[in-house]
A and B are shown apart, each in its own frame.
Chain A
Amino acid sequence: MSDDSQVVPVGAVDLGLAPVDTVAVRQGAFGASGSGDTSGFGGLVRPIEMPGASEKPYGGYFDELTEELELALADAGLPAESAIEKVVVDRGELTLYVRREHLLAVAQELRDEPGLRFEVCHSVSGVHYPADTDRELHSVVQLLSMTHRRRIRLEVTCPESDQHIPSLTDVWASADWHERETWDMFGIIFDGHPAMTRILMPDDWPGHPQRKDYPLGGIPVEYKGATIPAPDQRRSYN
């Protein structure tokens, strides 16, 4: 790359557009490789850019909420900058990216602080981003405050080499089964969970099926004179 070309660090692209975080790069158009490409579409390279950190003001109740949280964390002796990696406001939804070592402290404040009062842990699930180096596994926590009629999302990441995230079961008992499912499907180990066992797959199942590197499986469908490959082996658009 020549010196006068603008080198843009990943995660801080600024072209006057909304900031983005590149989580992966997609190549080609048909999801298949190895066959001869005469269309030229196989040469396509497109970065996959998730919405990046938002700047204040966030709009709506998000400003009030984040201020409350910052004050509450400061009272607990934990600066918000060290606990919260970034705040993303996208499509009217607020996502707090929380560093895993401070997840429990943040969760406790979100539940107990009168101005926050997220009484209900709605859902915990995982997402696997194999190309997001050192942040491959994301645990996504959806919270609901019935007192204030608010919903927010926490996102916690961990690398595949150290797939540990603290369990939320001490703060919200309802996280129990959701975390077991996330362990079952993604292999994230929730430290402090009372019974980290498989819940949907059989106890002796090897692997974590919803990871991206885990094949879908399936068998070719045979017709008279034709065979249709299994869904993950078919030529298809991506």
Chain B
Amino acid sequence: MSTSYESGEFVDGAATGAPDPAPGYDTTEGRVFTVSGGDWDSITIDPSLANERIVVNMGPQHPSTHGVLRLILELEGESVQSARCGIGYPHTGIEKNMEYRNWTQGTAFVTRMDYLSSFFNEAGYSMAVEQLLGMTDEVPDRATVLRVILMELNRVSSHLVCLATGALELGALTAMTFGFRERELILDVFELITGLRMNHAYIRPGGLAQDMPATDDQGQDMKVRIQWTIDTLRERFKDTANLLVDNTIWMGRTSGIGYLDLTGCMSLGITGPILRATGYPWDARKETPYCGYERYEFEVPTQTSADAYGRFLIRLEEMQQSLNIVEQALDHLQPGPVMVDDPKVAWPAQLAIGSDGMGNSLDHIRQIMGTSMEALIHHFKLVTEGYSVPVGQAYQVLEAPRGELGVHVVSHGGTKPYRVHFRDPSFNNLQSVAVMCEGGQVADVVAAVASIDPVMGGVDR
């Protein structure tokens, strides 16, 4: 339907057969029509134009492109002739910003990159800084075990969003509600431990911002609460599995879609569930362990179909394996400090969870304001100035939900990072959109992109 705005008069173009208000213009490649919205009939009413190649901008505001991703598709009818990605819409310059804040403040930035796997960003950044500080081995065991618990729960919550939004994009609304319902259980645990649901800044260079509280909001032991969450999730995962695994429509939409074999994965540097769907069990937690992952027994699920359905099955199984790791980590969890024993790095700041969320610990304020001026000075210097990190560079890799996350940190010996670069798995993996989608149907683009599971906050940083 088209409207003539100039005359202020409403004209139904399709009904009157009147020419479209956005007429075509001649180029070296022929006549080009630019249309946004409206009715295609007003263009294709001319039979000579019916078989033309059209360029469709899918996104960046399209609900099925998994975030602010712009796909530039060249279509001939329903078949995709070329698929390119336009990225950069949520680019916020986080890496540049970090060069102007101290090392501890960096965690508050990195947690906002890939916002669905915040703990992985925080842990990767913290471990890289610890490597520069030369205190990797000094991080207390309780902090490392808690990092593993948080990362694995985060892997589950991230995969749940992937399944939920992926299902939503293919029209499976019930699976979407299941996914977000289950995720909320995990976010509740995060909120109890860190005070926040998504962007925590909880894992800091040297350990953690503070210890896990002993009891949850119901007054029961925190370990018991996490175990209850695990048991509930195991039970509820059956709902999602029952709904989708043998579902004919789901299989029809995802089997054989977004095909990318091992050769393609190697060439494009793809890691994570996409690589494991080709049958190659590469997982950084097993191959180049960090955070004591060699202590835990878990399997690396693989599939051989190299398609969107295989990736879906892998994510389902990985969630189970992650819950197994969390259970084992709960057994490993011993009382102790959660920050390195170095007053020049560890903040003296203590926080407490009050009735209105996380805030200052009144006991700590009483001590520094009332009884010890030296403690107050020390606190002030460490928080405003921060600490210096020795000159050098480090690269820390860990297995994030979407693949291998690499954190490159360069220090010039100052109290601020000289350069921080995140090799985000979504950024790298999005390069496979063209090879997965070209030659397929336009509807399958949605399934293929959903199976890559890009998070644009991480892609654009």
Contact = CB atoms under 8 A, between A and B. Distances in A.
Nearest to B423: A123
Interface in B89-103: 91, 93, 95-97, 99-102
A73 B266 CA distance: 23
B423 A122 contact: yes
Contacts of B461: 200
A12 interface: no
Contacts of B282: 146
Given A26-B412, A26-B413, A200-B91, A172 B406 contact: no
Interface string A93-122: 101000000000000000000000001111
Given A123-B423, A149-B288, A50 B97 contact: no
Contacts of B91: 200-201
A3 B418 CA distance: 36
A232 B97 CA distance: 9
Contacts of B27: none
Contact of B134 (A26, A91, A176): A91
A145 B7 CA distance: 67
Nearest to B404: A122
A232 B287 CA distance: 41
A115 B269 CA distance: 20
Interface string A198-234: 1111100000011000001000000000000001100
B100 A24 contact: no
B97 A142 contact: no
Classify chain B's interface size.
35 or more
Contacts of B267: 172-174
Contacts, number: 125
Interface core residue of B131, B271, B280, B391 (most chain A CB under 10 Å): B391
Nearest to A210: B96
Contacts of A232: 100
B394 A93 contact: yes
B412 A231 contact: no
Interface in B359-394: 384-386, 391-394
A125 B413 contact: no
A237 B385 contact: yes
Contacts of A198: 88
A46 B414 CA distance: 11
A195 to B, nearest CB: 10
A199 B459 CA distance: 11
Interface in B29-48: none
A90 B392 contact: yes
A200 B95 contact: no
A190 interface: no
B87 A200 contact: yes
A2 to B, nearest CB: 29
Nearest to B427: A177
Contacts of A24: 412
Contacts of B142: none
A48 interface: yes
A26 B427 CA distance: 35
Contact of A125 (B134, B385, B404, B421): B421
B287 A177 contact: no
A11 interface: no
Contacts of B132: 91
Contacts of B394: 91, 93
Nearest to A211: B96
Contacts of A50: 391-393
A46 B413 contact: yes
A216 to B, nearest CB: 6
Contacts of A236: 100, 416
A173 B288 contact: no
Contact of B269 (A151, A174, A202, A209): A174
A177 B269 CA distance: 11
Given A50-B392, A91-B394, A120-B269, A174 B431 contact: yes
Given A144-B397, A200-B460, 14 more contacts: A48-B391, A91-B134, A91-B392, A93-B393, A127-B410, A146-B266, A151-B395, A174-B428, A200-B87, A216-B96, A216-B99, A231-B97, A237-B102, A237-B384
23 contacts: A23-B412, A46-B413, A48-B391, A91-B132, A91-B394, A93-B394, A121-B269, A123-B428, A142-B423, A144-B404, A149-B288, A151-B395, A151-B397, A177-B428, A198-B88, A199-B87, A200-B461, A202-B88, A209-B96, A216-B93, A216-B97, A231-B97, A231-B100
Would you list the 7 A-B pairs with minimal beta carbon distance, nearest first? A174-B269, A123-B423, A200-B88, A125-B421, A200-B91, A231-B100, A173-B267
